[in-house]
Amino acid sequence: SQELEQSPQSLIVQEGKNLTINCTSSKTLYGLYWYKQKYGEGLIFLMMLQKGGEEKSHEKITAKLDEKKQQSSLHITASQPSHAGIYLCGAGNFGNEKLTFGTGTRLTIIP
Amino acid sequence: SQTIHQWPATLVQPVGSPLSLECTVEGTSNPNLYWYRQAAGRGLQLLFYSVGIGQISSEVPQNLSASRPQDRQFILSSKKLLLSDSGFYLCAWKTGVMSYGYTFGSGTRLTVV
């Protein structure tokens, strides 16, 4: 089965600073999803990457998928308190019938 | 518009009692449906998924079962709850378009006491 490892597990960043979260897969990624979760709430879809070398941006968040399609990174520029939460990467299987998740990264933004 | 409803939001149940959590989707037909569990301090674990009425795939052997009696209804059940069943349960559905991702409900926090 596919395993996703996220690093770091937790991150404390001063407001305004940049940060990066990594997601590494044990197998080739057919679809890599990034989600954000506020504590005790559902997941909010951020973006999805499928092609090797692909990069997508939304507001101040940029996600990349490496050429070998086994690692993805999520980069936040000029962090804000609204960025705080748990970030989860998820991998779709070949037929995209199911999505398995990494262990998550808890992001705290301090003033 | 497409929406997903999950209830209840919070549930406290004694050990050995039954469980029924319901999830319904509106605004779409024949969706793939999913149940996930998030234990304290841990990631999301896929429990069950369904690609159609009466079709259930189990990912993890456990004390839970799932059913899909109608196209847009997905139910998570247990006959006798264990302490280890405590957690945050999330229902999700997926469109046919891969890039749109999976849409999640607001979750049910289950505490077994």
In angstroms, what separates the C-alpha of B43 from chain A's closest C-alpha? 4
Return the closest-CA partner of residue B88 out of B23, B11, B18. B11
Numbered residues of chain B with Cβ closer than 8 Å to any chain A Cβ: 32, 34, 36, 42-46, 49, 51, 57, 59, 88, 90, 92, 94, 98-107, 109
Residue indicated by tokens 């996220």: A6
Contact A99 B102 (CB under 8 A): yes
Interface with B, mutate which of A7, A39, A88, A98 (most B CBs under 10 A)? A98
Q: Which of B93, B30, B66, B85 is nearest to A43 (CA)?
A: B93
Strand partners, A62: A57, A75
Residues of chain B found within 8 Å of residue A103, distances taken between Cβ atoms: 42-43
User: Are A103 and B43 in contact (CB < 8 Å)?
Assistant: yes
Nearest chain A residue to B44 by CA: give it: A101
Q: How far is CA A70 from the centre of its chain?
A: 13
Q: What distance in Å separates the CA atoms of residue A1 and residue B65, rounded to the nearest whole number?
A: 21
Return the pLDDT at A79.
97
CATH number at residue A38: 2.60.40.10
A88 with B43: CB under 8 angstroms?
yes
Task: Give the span between the Cα atoms of B47 and B40, in whole angstroms.
Answer: 16
Report d(CA B35, CA B6) in Å as an integer: 11
For chain A, give the mean pLDDT: 91
In terms of C-beta density within 10 A (0-12 exposed, 13-18 middle, 19 or more buried), how is residue A26 classed?
exposed
Q: B10-13 and B108-112: which strand pairing? A: parallel
First to last CA, chain B: 38
A54: which DSSP letter?
Answer: -
Q: How many structural domains is chain A composed of?
A: 1
For residue B66, pLDDT beyond 90: yes
Which of A82, A90, A88, A89 is closest to A108 using CA atoms?
A: A82
A21 min Cα distance to partner chain B (Å): 15
Residues B21-46: tens digit of each pLDDT: 999 999 888 889 999 999 876 788 99
CATH number for the region B3-112 comes to 2.60.40.10
A98 touches chain B (CB under 8 A): yes
Instruction: Indicate if the pLDDT at residue A1 is higher than 80.
Output: no
- Report percent pLDDT > 70 for chain A: 95
- Counted across chains A and B, CB pairs separated by less than 8 A come out at 62
Q: What is the mean pLDDT of chain B?
A: 90
**In this predicted model, what pLDDT tens digit does every residue of B47-62 receive, in sequence order?**
999 999 999 999 886 7
Residue A100's domain spans which residues?
4-110
Show residues of chain B in contact with A45, CB under 8 Å. Answer: 100-103
Distance CA B47, CA A27 (A): 21
pLDDT at position A62 is 98
CB-CB under 8 Å, A33 with B102: yes
Q: Would you say residue A80 has pLDDT above 90?
A: yes
* Nearest CA distance, A4 vs chain B (angstrom): 10
- Least Cα distance to A34 among A14, A10, A4, A12 occurs for A4
The residue type at B26: E
